[in-house]
Every structure is written in structure tokens, then in C-alpha cells.
Homo-oligomer: A and B are copies of this chain.
Amino acid sequence: MSTPRQLRAREVLRVLIADDQALVRGAIASLLDLEPDLEIVSQVGRGDEVLEAARSTRPDVALLDVEMPGLDGIAVARLLREQVPECRSLIVTTFGRPGYLRLALEAGALGFVVKDTPSGQLAAAVRRVAAGDTVVDPALAAESLVMGASPLSARETDVLIALRQGGTTAEVARLLRLSEGTVRNHLSAAIGKTNARNASEAARIAAENGWLLTP
């Protein structure tokens, strides 16, 4: 039934895996290695190591975690699109942040699945992305539509990001070279837009919606 006579060069799909948790990375590799038409050609644990690995091992598909040290998976997808365009990106992430999906697609990723999709479907997603189809988690797609894009302005986003790292507003002001009053203004706007009741809740809500990635 399969077609042994079609001796295309593209019979075996070369796959790169990027995930910061070694155990998960190895486990996914062993899962995909069971498929005869998939070959794991590279495994990396940091976002900023993907590009070099992709250049040297020429994968057809890159499985990218979003949360990684060095560089997040969405930024990596953007780089791959520009510099290694023959490698398609499939984002595989822990949290179903609706905003991540939109950013990922804008960054040129073809696929987006969350880590609690059935493990049997991953190989199928890889094949479809390799073929040029887009693969998107349906539940997340729906949520992403209602949620829409981030309502936060660029500066408001910066302030929330800084707030999650340094603690107080005074420190945020110093970090961003702003006056304290300005920081409070941005925070007040962000609190209103996120329907939060204080700054830390606003930061939490924004993070949960995937609005704190620099686009």
C-alpha cells in the first residue's frame, strides 16, 4: 500500500527537538524514534543553541518548547523562518496561553500543540507540518479567538515584565529609567485593561494570557 517505488529523497523526515527539560526531551525523542519515517537528528536544551544545530544538522521539522533559557521558542521560530526557511517549526508548549498561539503563527511556526495532547498524535503533527500544513490545537484556537491580541501597549508590557523580575515600583522605575509616577500610570492602565485589582495580579493575568512576550 505504501509506495516503495516512489524513491523520493524526502522519505525520512529529519527532526530537531528543543526542550530545556532533559528528561522530557529524551522521552519525546524515544517516542518519535518509534516511527520508522522519523529520525531525530539533534537535541538541544537552550533556545539560543537551536539555530546552530539547525544549520549543521538540516532538520525538516523543529519541535520547539516555548519556555527555554536563552531564547524562547517563538523567537526561535522567527529566526528559523528567516535564516533556515526549509526547516518548519512546530511549537510544543506546556501552557495553553492563548496569546502564545497567535504570536507563534505570526512568527512563522506552522504547528502549535500543548503538552497534554495525546502522545500518539505528535508524530502525525510532525508529518503534517513537514508537508507544509498548519496544525493547531483546536480548543486553544477557539480560546485564542475570543481572547484576541494583547490590549497592552508596548510600554505597559515592559513595566509588567520588569515588575515580575524586580519587586517594587521604585525598582521598576530605576530599571526602565522612568519616573515612579510614570510607572504607576502605566500600571494603572494595565490594571484597568486586565480587570485586575492590583499590579501583581495584572502581571499574573498578562502572563497567563501570553501577553508578556516581546513581539
Contacts and interface: CB of A to CB of B under 8 A. Distances in A.
A21 B167 contact: no
A28 B23 contact: yes
A30 B34 contact: yes
A49 to B, nearest CB: 15
Interface string A176-215: 0000000000000000000011101100000000000000
Interface of A: 20-31, 34, 45, 92, 94, 113-120, 122, 167-168, 196-198, 200-201
Contact of A118 (B26, B113, B116, B197): B26
A126 to B, nearest CB: 12
Instruction: State how many copies of this chain the complex holds.
Output: 2
Contact of A94 (B21, B25, B113, B119): B21
Contact of A198 (B45, B116, B168): B168
A119 B27 contact: yes
Contact of A21 (B22, B116, B198): B116
Contacts of A94: 21
A162 B78 CA distance: 39
B26 A31 contact: yes
Contacts of A167: 196-198, 201
Contacts of A197: 167-168
Given A22-B115, A22-B117, A22-B119, 14 more contacts: A23-B28, A23-B92, A23-B113, A23-B114, A23-B115, A23-B117, A23-B119, A25-B119, A26-B118, A30-B31, A45-B116, A167-B198, A167-B201, A198-B200
Nearest to A118: B22
A45 to B, nearest CB: 8
16 contacts: A22-B115, A22-B116, A22-B119, A23-B28, A23-B92, A23-B122, A24-B115, A26-B31, A26-B120, A27-B27, A29-B119, A30-B34, A31-B31, A167-B198, A168-B197, A168-B198
